[in-house]
Amino acid sequence: MQLDAKIPGGPIAEKWDRHLFELKLVNPANKRKYDVIVVGTGLAGGSASATLAELGYNVKSFCIQDSPRRAHSIAAQGGINAAKNYPNDGDSIWRLFYDTVKGGDFRAREANVYRLAQISNDIIDHCVAQGIPFARDYGGLLANRSFGGAQVSRTFYARGQTGQQLLLGAYSALSRQIADGNVQMFARREMLNLVVVNGQARGIVVRNLINGQIERHDAHAVVLCTGGYGNVFFLSTNAMASNVTAAFRAFKQGAWFANPCFTQIHPTCVPVHGTFQSKLTLMSESLRNDGRVWVPKSPGDKIPPTQIPEAERNYFLEEKYPSFGNLVPRDVASRNAKEQCDMGKGVGETRLAVYLDFADAIKRDSKAVIEKKYGNLFQMYEKITGEDPYETPMRIYPAVHYTMGGLWVDYNLMSTIEGLFVMGEANFSDHGANRLGASALMQGLADGYFIIPYTVGGYLAGTELADVTTDHGAFKESENDAQSRLSRLLAINGKRTVDDFHKELGLIMWNYCGMARNNEGLEKARNLIQQLRGEFWENVTVPGSGQDFNQSLERAGRVADYLEFGELMVLDALARQESCGGHFNEAYQTEAHEARRDDENFCYAAAWEHTGKETEPQVHKEPLIFENVELSQRSYK
Ligand SMILES: Cc1cc2nc3c(=O)[nH]c(=O)nc-3n(C[C@H](O)[C@H](O)[C@H](O)COP(=O)(O)OP(=O)(O)OC[C@H]3O[C@@H](n4cnc5c(N)ncnc54)[C@H](O)[C@@H]3O)c2cc1C
C-alpha cells in the first residue's frame, strides 16, 4: 500500500477551505442513519462526540474512567495557544504555523500544521462561548502568557488549570447530547480490539471493567482518541490510566504507527525522589515566564540556594540562548539541564535537578502577583516537596511528558485502515519531533470540534458500507482473541507482579531510549526488552478472575502491549540515524550539542506496519515536503 496523505492542492492558506468545499456532505436527515464510535473522552474525544452528536450522528462514546471528565486532559495546566495577537506583539497565523514547524524540528506535515494555526482562533471563540473562564487582563480582554519556542505571548490560560476548564466545557456539551439521547455513554469500558470488516473499521470489542464482561459494539466509523503512551517509561507525568493499548491493537489490525520514538521529555518536573514512586509531577512550562533556571557554578556545591551569591550562579539557558532565554523549547531546555547535571552541577540530594527561581519575579512584581498567576502550582510543589517556592527556588528535572508519535493519519485524520480516524495525542500529526508547549490542547480541540465533524461526514457520504452487525464473524473472532489473551494472562500464575515488569521496562526505555540515545544502547535495549517480554509471559502473576473488577488484569494487558510497543520505539529510534527534536542520538550533534538533522536522508515520517507475529514490522516513508518554510538548523540563540 502507498501512503497517501491526501493533502489538498493550492496555496497553503487556502487548502482547508478548499477541502471543506470538496468534501462530500451527509444530508441532515441522513446523519441519524449513521453510528460513529468515539473511543476516549479527553479533549479530543469529548469534543468530537459532542460535535458529531450535535450534527445528528448517533454517537457511542467510550472511556476507561468512571466519568468522561476524568480523562487525562483534566491534568493539563499551562494553557492553549492561538494566533489571536491580542497583546499586539506581532503574532499571526503564519507565525504560529512557522513556530510549530520549526519547534517540531521540521518533521511535521506543513499542511496539517497550517490548518491547526488557522483553526486555533476559532477554538478560543468557541470555548469563550462555552463559558471557559480564561484569565483576563485589567480591561477584561483575554490575557496571554508565553510558552517555549515562541517570542510572542499567545497562550490562553485559566490559572494552572486550563485542561480542567476546557474539559469541563467539552464535557458539558457532551452531557447535553447524552441527555438528548444522541450519545450513548459507555464509561468503565476498555477497548481491547478493533473490528475490521472488508478492510473497513466497523466496530470495537471492549471489556466492561466493573463486571469483566466482553462486549461488542458496531458502527459505520470508529474514531480513536485514546491519548499518549508516555507511561511506557513507567514514570511519567501522564495519568496512571494512560496507555497504548487501543492504538497498538489497531496497529496489529493494520493501522500503521508513525514515529513511535518521538517522545517529549519536559524540562520542568518535580525530580524523582525514591524507588517507590509511581508518578511524576509536572511543574507547568508557564512557570518559565517568570522563573529563572540556574545551577551553582561549582560542581558539587551544597550551600543552600538562597545563600549562593549571584556571581556563583550559572543561568545557563539565559546565557546560551539570549533571544529565547528560559523559554527555549522543551527538548532544548531538557538536554541542557541534563548536560549541567552530567557535569556534576546538579542540585538536591540526587544531584539530578536544577533550580527554578522566582526571587527576582517576586521582587519585581510582588508575591501577590506571582500567587495569582501560579498559586495552585506553587501549592502543589510545596505539598510534594515540603519546600515553599516563594522562599526557596524550586528544584526541577526533565521527565517523560508527551508522545509525538502515534497512529499515522492523512489530512482527514484517517489512519491506514479505512473508516478508522485517530485524533489528539493518539495520532502522530502536527508536532513533528518536538511539541511546543500549549499546543496539545489546541490540537485536540481542533481535531474534535473543527476537523473530524467534516472529514467523517466526507467519508460516510462517499463510501459504500455493507450492513454489518455484531453478529458478523469478525466480531466473534475479535472477541475470542481478546478473551483468550485475558485467559492466558490469568493462567500464568508466576512470581513477579505486573508493576515489577513495568518498572524494569520503564528503566530500560529511560536509560537507552530516553533523553539521549546511541546505537549501542538501543541494540542493548532491544535485547533486554525481548528477554523481559519472554519472562513476563512465563512469570507474571495476575491475581483474581476475569469475571470481575480486576485492576491487575487491566494493568497486565497494558504492560503486555508496552512490552511489544517498547521494542517498536527502539526499532524506530535505530532506523532514524539523525537527531531531531526529542530524538537525540548522541552520534549526531552539532558542536554546541544541539540535535543535528539529516534532511537529505531522513526528512520523512516513518510509518511502521505490523507484518505478523514472527516477522519484523516494516517501515514506510511519507516524505515531508517544505514549500512554505525553509529547512534550516533550529536556533534559539
Ligand atoms: C501534567 C500534564 C500537563 C499538561 N499541560 C498541558 C498544557 O498546559 N497545554 C497543552 O497544550 N498540553 C498539555 N499537556 C498535554 C495534554 O494534556 C494532552 O496531550 C492532551 O490532554 C491529550 O488529550 P487527548 O484527548 O488526546 O487524550 P486524553 O485526555 O489522554 O484522553 C484519553 C481518553 O481515552 C480513553 N482511553 C484510553 N485508552 C482506552 C481504551 N483502551 N479503551 C477505552 N478508552 C480508552 C481514556 O479513558 C480517556 O478518556 C499536559 C500533559 C500533562 C501530562
Which of 116-130, 278-292, 429-443, 505-519 shows the lowest per-residue confidence on average (mean pLDDT)? 278-292
Contact assessment for residue 513 and residue 522, using Cβ atoms and an 8 Å cutoff: yes
**226 close to ligand 1 (CB < 6 Angstrom):** yes
Handedness of CA 252, 239, 214, 559 (dihedral sign): positive
Band (pLDDT 50/70/90 cuts) for residue 577 is very high
Q: Whose CA is nearest to atom 15 of ligand 1?
A: 440
What is the arithmetic mean of pLDDT over 188-194?
Answer: 98
Contact of 162 with 204, CB cutoff 8 Å: no
555: Cβ below 6 Å to ligand 1?
no
pLDDT digits (tens, 9 = 90+) for 295-326: 999 887 778 999 999 999 999 999 999 999 99
Q: Which residue, among 116, 55, 136, 102, has the nearest Cα to 430 in the 3D structure? A: 116
Section 404-424 average pLDDT: 98
CB 153 within 8 A of CB 144: yes
Residue 612's pLDDT band (boundaries 50, 70, 90)? very high
pLDDT number for residue 284: 87
Confidence of residue 584 (pLDDT cuts 50, 70, 90): very high
The verdict on the CB of residue 78 being under 6 Å from ligand 1 is yes
Q: What confidence category does residue 61 fall into, taking pLDDT thresholds of 50, 70 and 90?
A: very high
Closest Cα to atom 3 of ligand 1: 76
User: Which sign does the torsion angle of CA 113, 119, 124, 127 carry?
Assistant: negative
Q: Residue 633: pLDDT above 90?
A: no
CA of 425 to the centre of ligand 1 (A): 7
Which residue is closest in CA terms to ligand 1's atom 37? 226
217, amino acid identity: H
Residues 6 or more apart from 46 whose CB is under 8 A from it? 68, 69, 71, 73, 167, 170, 171, 173, 174, 448
Q: For residue 635, what are the contacts with CB-CB under 8 A and spacing of at least 6?
A: none
Q: What is the mean predicted confidence (pLDDT) over 218-238?
A: 97
Q: Which residues in 294-318 are b (16+ Cβ under 10 Å) and which e?
A: bbbeeeeeeeebeebeeeebbbbbe
At 268, phi and psi to the nearest 5? Answer: -115, 85
Cβ–ligand 1 distance for 420 under 6 Å, the answer no
Assess whether pLDDT exceeds 80 at residue 452.
yes
- Identify the band that residue 212 occupies on the pLDDT scale cut at 50, 70 and 90: very high
| pLDDT value for 302 | 79
Let me know: does 337 contact 352? Beta carbons within 8 Å: no
Per-chain mean pLDDT for the chain: 96
What residues contact residue 121 under an 8 Å CB cut-off, 6+ apart? Answer: 82, 83, 84, 93
Phi-psi region for residue 555, left (φ > 0), alpha (ψ -120 to 50) or beta? alpha
| Any atom of ligand 1 within 6 Å of the Cβ of 41 | yes
**Residue to mutate (ligand 1; options 38, 41, 60, 73; most atoms within 8 A of CB):** 73
**pLDDT at residue number 354:** 96
Please return the burial class of 179, using the count of CB atoms within 10 Å of its CB with bins 0-12, 13-18 and 19+: exposed
The DSSP result for 602-619, as a single string, is H-EEEEEE---SSS--EE
Residue nearest to atom 8 of ligand 1 (CA): 78
The residue among 573 and 148 whose pLDDT is bigger is 573
Catalytic residue list contains 330: yes
pLDDT digits (tens, 9 = 90+) for 335-366: 999 999 999 999 998 899 999 999 999 999 99
The whole-number pLDDT of residue 287 equals: 92
Beta-bridge partner residues of 295: 314
Report the share of the chain in percent with pLDDT over 70: 100
Alpha-carbon span 352 to 305, nearest angstrom: 15
Q: Residue 133: pLDDT band by 50, 70, 90 thresholds?
A: very high
Task: Report the residue among 43, 49, 72 best suited for mutation to probe ligand 1: largest number of ligand atoms under 8 A from its CB.
Answer: 72
Q: Given this model, what pLDDT does residue 286 score?
A: 87
- HSE, CB side, 13 Å, CA atoms: give it for residue 222: 28
The answer, yes or no, to whether residue 236 has pLDDT greater than 80, is: yes
Output the pLDDT for position 41. Answer: 98
385 pLDDT tier (thresholds 50, 70, 90): very high
Cα separation values, 198 from 157, 247, 402, 418, 421, Å? 45, 20, 34, 10, 17
Mean pLDDT value of segment 163-180:
98
Residue 356 gets which letter from DSSP? E
Does the beta carbon of 120 sit less than 6 angstroms from any atom of ligand 1? no
Tell me if 46 CB under 6 Å of ligand 1: no
Ligand 1 neighbourhood includes 243 CB (under 6 angstroms)? yes
Measured CA to CA, the distance from residue 344 to residue 347 in angstroms comes to 9
Calculate mean pLDDT across residues 432-441. Answer: 96
| pLDDT at position 635 over 90 | no
**What is the C-alpha to C-alpha distance for residues 226 and 239, in angstroms, rounded to an integer?**
12
Q: What would the DSSP string read from start to end of 24-60?
A: ----HHHHTT-EEEEE--SHHHHHHHHHHHHHT-EEE
Q: How far is CA 492 from CA 486, 556, 611, in A?
A: 10, 11, 27
User: Which residues are 264's β-sheet partners?
Assistant: 402
Question: CA angle, corner 214, sides to 209 and 216, nearest 5?
Answer: 120
Catalytic residue among 107, 115, 159, 330: 330
Q: Report pLDDT for 168.
A: 98
**How many angstroms is it from 157 CA to the middle of ligand 1?**
17
CA distance 446 to 440: 10
Share of the chain above pLDDT 90, in %: 92
Give me the pLDDT at residue 614, please: 87
